A and B are shown apart, each in its own frame.
Chain A
Amino acid sequence: MAEVNEIVPLPHVPVGDAVEVAVDWVGDVADPVFDAFSTGVSAFIDAFVTLLLLPPPLVLVALLALLGGLIRSARFGAGSLVALVLVVSMELWVEFVETLAFIIGATLVAAVIAVPLGILAARSARASALFKPVLDLMQTMPPFVYLIPAVAFFSIGTVPGFVTTVVFALPPGVRLTELGIRQVDAEVVEAGTAFGGTPRQILRGIQLPLALPTIMAGINQVIMLALSMAVIAGLIGGGGLGSVVVRAISSLDLALGFEAGLSVVVLAIYLDRLTAALGSGTPRLRLERARSLLNRGSTSTEGGDTGSETASEEQRGSEQRNSRRPALR
């Protein structure tokens, strides 16, 4: 750098210094706000972790596997069971649960911020143009750099890692929400307007439901990014599997590092497959199928998994609901 400046006489523009001054200033001015926020976030995560650790590990493992089985498939449920039991046997369960709670919390916060921003961007070309470079910056800035101001604001611990994770994981949530809403068939939206729908009715009744698969794909990406950031957050005392990884690096403990890494992989695959199934609409079909089974009073449970069977069962279910309606009225 200095050498280049000796050849081409350019003054050093103090971009970095300016940012540092700004960050310091924000840190000074908003210190009470950050403190309150910090207390809130760590209380939330601690409570969540405590709750998840309340049942014996194997009970929670069974519950998670059951959830996977219901939402995705029986095979996925069985696979999750094996993988999660492995995590317990590697004695990384507490760290696993800490990271899980951390990811769920960060994803919730990121989604609550990202989806409304995405809706705004879909409606206003100006907002979209404004968000784009900011999102690019958030997503491509090396994640380690975020850690510096985060520590400056919140000192070390869970909270700076949490905030960093939310910032880093946010962009795909905004982008895919915008994309999903923009992709909704213009004629269907026009139909909503033509029948006199308010923008809110059109958003809730047409745009959001039709954009849901894309929005869920965005949330899925948010989770994956949050997971990668959660490990990096171990560097600043973020706790969970990240801190195990950091410990393994500093002591060059390959066995520990591999076990922690494997646990991260298990968590990643579990959350990815689960949210992917949520986005594809399978749970609703499953719910309706379950309802139709209940309606018939049948005791058979898991049927075949073919689309046509699902559709016909759903149809039969709704027919039954229809035939019952006059009686109810």
Chain B
Amino acid sequence: MAAVSARGLYKVFGPRPEEAVRRLQQGEPVADVRADGATPAVVDVDLEVQPGEISVVMGLSGSGKSTLIRMLNGLLEPTAGTVHVGDVELTGLDEDGLRRLRQERLSMVFQHFALLPHRTVLDNAAYALEIRGVERAERRRRGAEALEMVGLGDRAGNRPSELSGGMQQRVGLARALASGTDVMLMDEAFSALDPLIRREMQDQLVELQRSLGRTVVFITHDLNEAMRIGDRVAVMREGRVVQSGTPTEILRAPADDYIASFLADVDRSRVFTAEDVMAPPRPVDGELHRMPRAGLRTPLADLLQPAATGGGSVAVTDDAGEVVGVVTAASMLSALGGLPGSVEGTSADISKEAVRG
């Protein structure tokens, strides 16, 4: 079962929202509805987030992504459609039920951290537990644990204002981790940070998510970030999801020119992995044992140096250490340099079929 799912979700601001939804459902274009005064922010969105994955919703400002994430924990009430968290229908809950669901199942990390300036870092980290009525010693223990996880164990006694932006967002992350909910909603969580810190935080998030198995819904306007951390990515435009899939799927076959135009900025060497670009090993290939080795999930960027020093090709091994493919200089260059979509139909696809078949 999906950890979070949305079905036919609409949010319209302005006068007579229900009527606007009805018109949209009948297929009227958003522009026509907008011309009559209503503002459709989210239009007919379906979203499935599987447990333990990082699901990224990417879109520019005004695309409806922030509205969408706020409907997933009931901060905003959908105009139409349903939201399920696990087996609970969030959209059918009363105030009390909604509060309980937020306390037990959903936590959130905010763009500008939203920490309590008058509390210590530790009290901030333990805030969600305090709301839930966990007794003091226990919540401080779990808050300290979460701070330890994000590398701020020694800052428990500080005030948030004494920390840098990156550290403050780590406190925000610790607050969400300490709450122990299985779903974490992250609203532009790294957008206010410097590029270097942002990358560090992305890596840390991926690492934490792998070790803790939390389900993450991550909102961003940065496609590069989406591709770096997302197991799945949904691209939003004008309230609708225009494409969703794994980063590789989107990179290979952008659904339209709008998405293709974004892809120009994406660091493809970080999205494609050895598995995506390898060709099946030929049995007659006598040089196989002399090639440098790399795992299936190694990003392309990390294959470049071994390939350069090892004669142009890298042997790809599966988890058992068996050689399952070869990445050649040519396949890497075509993946990196090809215009968006041009990787499609290269050896990569064929090799995958071969390996899996």
**Which of A191, A196, A315 has a CB less than 8 Å from the CB of B162?**
A315
Query: Cβ of B104: which chain A residues have Cβ within 8 Å of it?
Result: 196
- Give A41 to B114 CA distance when docked, in angstroms: 45
Q: Do the beta carbons of B131 and A196 come within 8 Å of each other?
A: yes
- Determine if A134 is an interface residue (Cβ-Cβ < 8 Å): no
Q: Do the beta carbons of B111 and A195 come within 8 Å of each other?
A: no
Residues of A207-265 at the interface with B, using a CB-CB cut-off of 8 Å, are 209-210
Q: Do the beta carbons of A315 and B108 come within 8 Å of each other?
A: no
Query: Cβ of B120: which chain A residues have Cβ within 8 Å of it?
Result: 318
Q: Do the beta carbons of A315 and B158 come within 8 Å of each other?
A: yes
| The stretch of B95-103, B225-233, B238-246, B312-320 that contacts the partner chain | B95-103
Query: Cβ of A31: which chain B residues have Cβ within 8 Å of it?
Result: none
- Given A321-B157, A322-B156, residue A188 in contact with residue B114 (CB < 8 A): yes
Q: Do the beta carbons of B103 and A195 come within 8 Å of each other?
A: yes
**Which of A201, A210, A329 has a CB less than 8 Å from the CB of B131?**
A201
- Determine if B91 is an interface residue (Cβ-Cβ < 8 Å): no
- Given A188-B114, A191-B110, residue A319 in contact with residue B157 (CB < 8 A): yes
Query: Cβ of B118: which chain A residues have Cβ within 8 Å of it?
Result: 209-210
- Give A133 to B103 CA distance when docked, in angstroms: 41
- Determine if A190 is an interface residue (Cβ-Cβ < 8 Å): yes
- Determine if B132 is an interface residue (Cβ-Cβ < 8 Å): yes
Compute the total of residue contacts between A and B using a CB distance below 8 Å. Answer: 69
Q: How far is the CB of B50 from chain A (nearest CB, A)?
A: 22
- Give A201 to B131 CA distance when docked, in angstroms: 7
Query: Cβ of B156: which chain A residues have Cβ within 8 Å of it?
Result: 322
- Determine if A206 is an interface residue (Cβ-Cβ < 8 Å): yes
- Determine if A187 is an interface residue (Cβ-Cβ < 8 Å): yes
- Give A209 to B111 CA distance when docked, in angstroms: 22
- Give A276 to B114 CA distance when docked, in angstroms: 27
**Which of A190, A210, A322 has a CB less than 8 Å from the CB of B157?**
A322
Query: Cβ of A191: which chain B residues have Cβ within 8 Å of it?
Result: 108, 110, 114, 127
Residues of A183-201 at the interface with B, using a CB-CB cut-off of 8 Å, are 185, 187-188, 190-198, 201
- Determine if B2 is an interface residue (Cβ-Cβ < 8 Å): no
Q: How far is the CB of B326 from chain A (nearest CB, A)?
A: 49
- Given A210-B118, A329-B137, residue A194 in contact with residue B107 (CB < 8 A): yes
Q: Do the beta carbons of A194 and B137 come within 8 Å of each other?
A: no
Residue of A nearest to B121 (CB): A318
- Give A188 to B171 CA distance when docked, in angstroms: 14
Known: A187-B111, A196-B103, A198-B99. 13 other contacts (CB 8 A): A188-B114, A191-B114, A194-B108, A195-B102, A195-B107, A195-B128, A195-B175, A195-B179, A197-B99, A197-B131, A205-B130, A315-B158, A322-B156
Q: Please report B residues at the A interface, Cβ cutoff 8 Å.
A: 73, 75, 99-104, 106-108, 110-112, 114-118, 120, 127-128, 130-132, 137, 156-158, 162, 175, 179, 185
Q: Could you list some 16 contacts between A and B, CB below 8 A?
A: A185-B112, A187-B111, A187-B114, A190-B75, A194-B75, A194-B102, A194-B108, A194-B185, A195-B108, A195-B179, A196-B102, A196-B131, A198-B99, A205-B130, A210-B118, A318-B158
